[in-house]
Amino acid sequence: SYVLTQPPSVSVAPGQTARITCEGNNIGSKSVHWYQQKPGQAPVLVVYDDNDRPSGIPERFSGSNSGNTATLTISRVEAGDEADYYCQVWDSSSDHWVFGGGTKLTVL
Amino acid sequence: QVQVVQSGAEVKQPGASVKVSCKASGHTFSDYYIHWVRQAPGQGLDWMGWVNPKSGGTKYAQDFRGRVTMTWDTSITTAYLDLSSLRSDDTAVYFCVTKRSGPNNGFDYWGQGTLVTVSS
């Protein structure tokens, strides 16, 4: 089955840029989605199809995807961005949806 | 305005079954699927499968086949998740979420989650 690997944690100071990676075999050929989840809440879609944002998501959230790595970039990080972030793809070989293990973003 | 509202928390004994409901509104469901995702305490997200409201067709994740049934009641635009032979490691929050068809679309509208606790 297809595996997505994320770093367990990323830390960044307010106002700086956070980059959260998601590694998978030839992930650049897939469409990657990213979710933000705060404690006790349901996940929220923040980036879909590699680098599109749903309405209401700030432009500070962007994505890229190439080769074996997809990246979620959060510019000008704010305290309110502190959350768990998950990447996701659809694996065509198994017809299953797959999530990465999640990354806890800490704002210092 | 899309709304997805799930049923309340459940406590079940090992070996029992649980049925979680998910009332969806605000969509025209001809082009949407209802997915189920679960999250064990302190753990990540685990995709369980989907039901197609238009056809009633389903797809289940390998890990849950044989124990899970997902259905859709068109008359009340409500999806159901049935999970049987419950074990302690089925203790989790279960989310339903709507998604437009196609791999390029993400899981956009999530329910609030339903906590299922399996304990004797």
Q: What is the pLDDT of residues A6-62, one digit of tens each?
A: 999 999 999 999 999 999 999 999 999 999 999 999 999 999 999 999 999 999 999
Q: pLDDT above 70 covers what percent of chain B?
A: 99
Q: What local confidence, expressed as pLDDT, does residue A42 receive?
A: 98
The predicted pLDDT at position A106 comes to 98
Query: According to the model, what pLDDT value does residue B28 have?
Result: 73
The pLDDT assigned to B65 comes to 87
How many interface pairs between A and B have CB atoms less than 8 angstroms apart? 59
DSSP symbols for B108-119 = -EE---EEEEE-
Q: Cβ contacts (< 8 Å) between A100 and chain B: which residues? A: 44
Whether residue B82 has pLDDT greater than 90? yes
For residue range B38-77, list pLDDT tens digits in order: 999 999 999 999 999 999 999 999 999 899 999 999 999 9
Cα A8 from Cα B116, distance rounded (Å) = 26
- Per the CB < 8 Å rule, is B106 touching A90? no
Rounded Cα gap, residues B18 and B93, in angstroms = 13
For the cut 90, the answer to whether the pLDDT of residue B31 exceeds it is: no
What CA–CA distance (Å, rounded) separates B83 from B19? 7
CA A49 to chain centre: 11
Q: Do B110 and A44 touch (CB under 8 A)?
A: yes
Cβ–Cβ of A42/B111 closer than 8 Å? Answer: yes
